[in-house]
C-alpha cells in the first residue's frame, strides 16, 4: 500500500542525505520519481545535502498545487513512481493535504522530509499537518549534537553568533554561514532555554574570572 511518510529531525541529522539516497536507490531499479523542495540552501529547484551532494528538483512554490502538477505530468504521458519532498516544513498545510491526495488517489508513495519545530520551538504549519496526516512518522536516527556534546533537540536562529527568539518564522540561513549573518545552530534543550550558543559559550569561557586570583 502506498504511504505518506514523514521523516523528521533537527537540522544536521541527515534528512536531505536520506532523501537523496532514497531517490538513488529507486532510480537504480528503473523507477522514476518527482522531487519537490522549497528554499533549499543550494538555490531554487535544487535538493542538496551538507555532504555536498546536489540534484535537480521542482520548486514547490507558495500556492502551487502539487496534486494537480502530478496529475498533469501523468496525463501528458510522464512516468511517476514515487514522490520525494524535502524541506516539507515550509509547505502550506493545504499542500500537505495535496500530498495525501497523491497517495490516496494516485497510488504513489510520498516521502516527506523536514524539521518539526522552528527556532522558537513552535511547530511549522507544514510539519504539524504532516504529523496529523502521515501514515508513518520516522525520527531520523543520526543524532545531531549540541556544542556541549549532548543530543541536540532544538533548532536555534543566530545573528552574530547570538541566539534570537523573535522574527519571521522562515528566514533562510545556513549553519555554516558567516557569524555576522543569520545562521542556525542545533542545541540541547538546556542550552536552548539558556540561549547559549557555541559562540556565546566560547566567549564566556574566555572571559576573566569575576574574582581575581592572586598568588599565595
Q: What is the pLDDT of residues 40-57, one digit of tens each?
A: 776 677 777 766 677 788
Q: What is the pLDDT of residues 60-74, one digit of tens each?
A: 999 999 999 999 999
Report the C-alpha dihedral over residues 15, 87, 121, 152, rounded to 10 degrees: 20
HSE (side-chain half, CA atoms, 13 Å) at 179: 7
- List the grid coordinates of 172: 533562510
Question: How far is 28 from 24, CA to CA, in rounded Å?
Answer: 6
Q: What is the pLDDT of residues 82-135, one digit of tens each?
A: 999 999 999 999 999 999 999 999 999 999 999 998 888 889 999 999 999 999
Question: How far is 17 from 50, CA to CA, in rounded Å?
Answer: 8
Spacing of C-alpha 189 from chain mean position? 18
Look at the alpha carbons of 163, 168, 174, 177 in this order and tell me if their dihedral is positive or negative. Answer: negative
Catalytic residue among 56, 87, 168, 181: 87
Does residue 179 carry a pLDDT above 60?
Answer: no
Task: Check if the beta carbon of residue 112 is closer than 8 Å to that of residue 4.
Answer: yes
Report helix, strand or coil for 12. Answer: coil
- Catalytic site residue 94? no
- List the grid coordinates of 141: 536516527
Mean pLDDT of the chain: 85
CA-nearest of 85, 81, 103, 76 to 27 is 81
Question: How far is 156 from 11, CA to CA, in rounded Å?
Answer: 10
Amino acid at each position: 500500500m502506498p504511504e505518506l511518510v514523514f521523516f523528521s529531525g533537527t537540522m544536521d541529522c541527515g534528512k536531505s542525505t536520506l532523501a537523496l539516497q532514497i531517490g538513488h536507490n529507486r532510480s537504480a531499479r528503473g523507477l522514476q520519481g518527482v522531487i519537490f523542495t522549497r528554499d533549499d540552501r543550494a538555490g531554487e529547484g535544487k535538493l542538496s545535502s551538507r555532504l555536498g551532494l546536489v540534484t535537480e528538483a521542482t520548486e514547490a512554490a507558495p500556492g502551487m498545487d502539487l496534486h494537480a502538477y502530478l496529475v498533469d505530468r501523468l496525463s501528458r504521458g510522464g512516468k511517476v513512481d514515487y514522490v520525494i519532498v524535502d524541506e516539507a516544513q515550509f509547505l502550506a498545510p493545504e499542500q500537505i493535504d495535496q500530498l495525501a491526495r497523491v497517495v490516496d488517489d494516485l497510488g504513489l508513495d510520498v516521502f516527506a522530509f523536514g524539521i518539526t519545530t522552528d527556532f522558537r520551538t513552535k511547530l511549522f504549519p507544514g510539519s504539524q499537518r504532516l504529523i496529523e496526516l502521515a501514515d508513518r512518522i520516522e525520527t531520523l536516527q543520526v543524532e545531531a549534537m549540541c556544542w556541549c556534546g549532548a543530543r541536540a533537540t532544538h533548532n536555534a536562529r543566530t545573528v552574530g553568533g547570538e541566539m534570537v527568539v523573535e522574527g519571521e518564522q522562515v528566514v533562510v540561513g545556513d549553519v555554516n554561514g558567516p557569524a555576522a549573518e543569520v545562521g542556525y545552530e542545533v542545541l540541547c534543550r538546556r542550552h536552548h532555554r539558556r540561549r547559549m550558543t557555541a559562540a556565546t559559550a566560547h566567549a564566556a569561557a574566555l572571559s576573566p574570572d569575576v574574582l581575581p586570583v592572586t598568588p599565595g
